[in-house]
Chain A
Amino acid sequence: MEFTSHTTWVAAIWVTLKLATLTTLILLVLGTPLAWWLAHTRSPWRMPIGAVVSLPMVLPPTVLGFYLLLGMAPDGPIGRLTDALGLASLAFTFNGLLLASVLYSLPFAVHPLQAGFAAIPAPALEAAATLRASPPDRFLTVILPLSRPALITATLFSFAHTVGEFGVVLMVGGNIDGETRVLSVLLYDQVEGMAYADAHLLAAGLLGFSFALLLLMQWLGRRTAVAHG
């Protein structure tokens, strides 16, 4: 059957890795300034925006999936925006899935970074400023090295959480081979189609992968803690 063939497996692995990698990169770029702002601002907007960032952790994926499905339809707000910009529709495309993943994994990047940034001692930043380090210089030589554990956590969590995404993809992806069919959806197809041998292989693979990733995260976290300790 289709969902047990070699090419389907390869395509799903490729789409999943591509999605997780790009989602992680985008989240690091967008999440870093956002996390910095959340860690240091005294603006009254801090709490509502912090709550919005955390929403994907508690919302059922079906809520996000439902709004994205309606939003990306040709007459939905996102659909009209892409149309006005002369871009192709995002519905049932890899890029649409990328947008969904960035929203869905946002707290998993922002929270560790925010905690990491908040933990940087103010004297370290003040000392760097007194030594006339420019803001980009301070960011690269003081902030980044000091928040290395947070960056590692944010990267691995974003990646792992995107690989583990299921409900949103099922609702807005359309299960297109090589475009939107990720591993979790392939597994679902295999279970539905009673291809249990393949399902076992894939489920065990995903379990092992997730475990290894979390183990790596702990090991890296410990190592940096020791290095700084």
Chain B
Amino acid sequence: MRRNWVAGLLLAVAGWLPATSLAQSAKPVAKPAQARIAVAANFTDAARKLASDYSKQSGQKIEISSASTGKLYAQIVNGAPFDVLLSADAETPRRLVDEGLADGATLHDYAIGRLVLWSRDPARVQGGEALLRKGDINRLAIANPALAPYGAAAREVLQHVRRWEELKPRLVMGENINQASQFVVTGAAPLGLLPRSLVMEANRKRQGSGWEIPAAWHAPIVQSAVLLKRGERNPAARGFLTYLRSPAAQRQIHSFGYD
């Protein structure tokens, strides 16, 4: 009986594989009037807004794919169909330029991220500096410092207040900053060191409490953008990158919580 079950499963898989590959090959190749943008997780909402503004004024379609910068890098190196990368750091786009996968002339910083100590509980973060320096913290959500720039900055903040070693066993790590935020927004973790952009988004939906981490407590979280090899001849990709540097787009980026 078990063998029948396995055989059935294999047949099902065998039937399904050609179907999906057909479906994929039938998909049209991206037309020049549209571009696919790979966006670091923290910038997703801002990028959506910018893309829709840009599409309205240019008529060109912008598709957004978001993931952690590390994952986007691995996808780009392995041939993912992205035209532009909006990274969460400055290092990854630079690396892609060095590897010949991106156009160095288009490399520029589009946003500087800031961290906030945030809780969903409106009463939790009162006197944020004292709480961070010597308060009682039993669980703190951050992004994985080894993978995410906001996680690395969070580690620097904890090192700055000399509590990294002490708090390390109590850190809850998201694989990217969106997941770390999700831990705090759902209330599963009482506190988190989160990007100001995501905190502003969360605060729009429900009242929490937060304290902005001074910029001097960690190296600036510089986020860079670059045109990828695949997008070199794509007017929508170039157009979007140019739009990103415009005063209107910069104002929009500020309003999303970036410096």
Contact = CB atoms under 8 A, between A and B. Distances in A.
A92 interface: yes
A52 interface: no
Interface stretch (B48-56, B68-76, B82-90, B204-212): B68-76
Contact of A192 (B139, B171, B172, B175): B175
B173 interface: yes
B188 A91 contact: yes
Nearest to B67: A192
Contacts of A177: 169
Contacts of A145: none
Interface residues of B, number: 26
Given A192-B68, A192-B70, A194-B70, A175 B144 contact: yes
B10 to A, nearest CB: 15
A99 to B, nearest CB: 14
B183 A174 contact: yes
Contacts of B188: 69-70, 72-73, 91-92, 172
Given A170-B175, A175-B175, A73 B186 contact: yes
B1 interface: yes
A115 interface: yes
Interface residues of A, number: 28
A69 B68 contact: no
Nearest to B73: A194
B13 interface: no
B80 interface: no
Contacts of B74: 191-192, 194
A76 B183 CA distance: 13
Contacts of A189: 144, 146-147, 175
Nearest to A192: B70
Contacts of B190: 74
A177 B183 CA distance: 17
Interface string B122-153: 00000000000000000101001111000000
Contacts of B186: 69-70, 73
A175 B173 contact: yes
A3 B173 CA distance: 13
Interface string A1-31: 1110000000000000000000000000000
Contacts of B235: none
Interface string B88-120: 000000000000000000000000000000000
A176 B73 contact: no
Interface in A111-128: 115
A188 interface: yes
Interface in A168-190: 170-172, 174-179, 188-189
A189 B68 CA distance: 11
A33 interface: no
Contacts of B183: 69, 92, 174
Interface of B: 1, 68, 70-71, 73-74, 139, 141, 144-147, 169, 171-175, 179, 182-183, 186-190
Interface of A: 1-3, 69-70, 72-76, 91-92, 115, 170-172, 174-179, 188-189, 191-194
Instruction: For the complex of A and B, list the 6 residue pairs with the smallest distance between their C-beta atoms, beginning with the closest.
Output: A174-B172, A73-B187, A175-B173, A192-B70, A73-B188, A91-B188
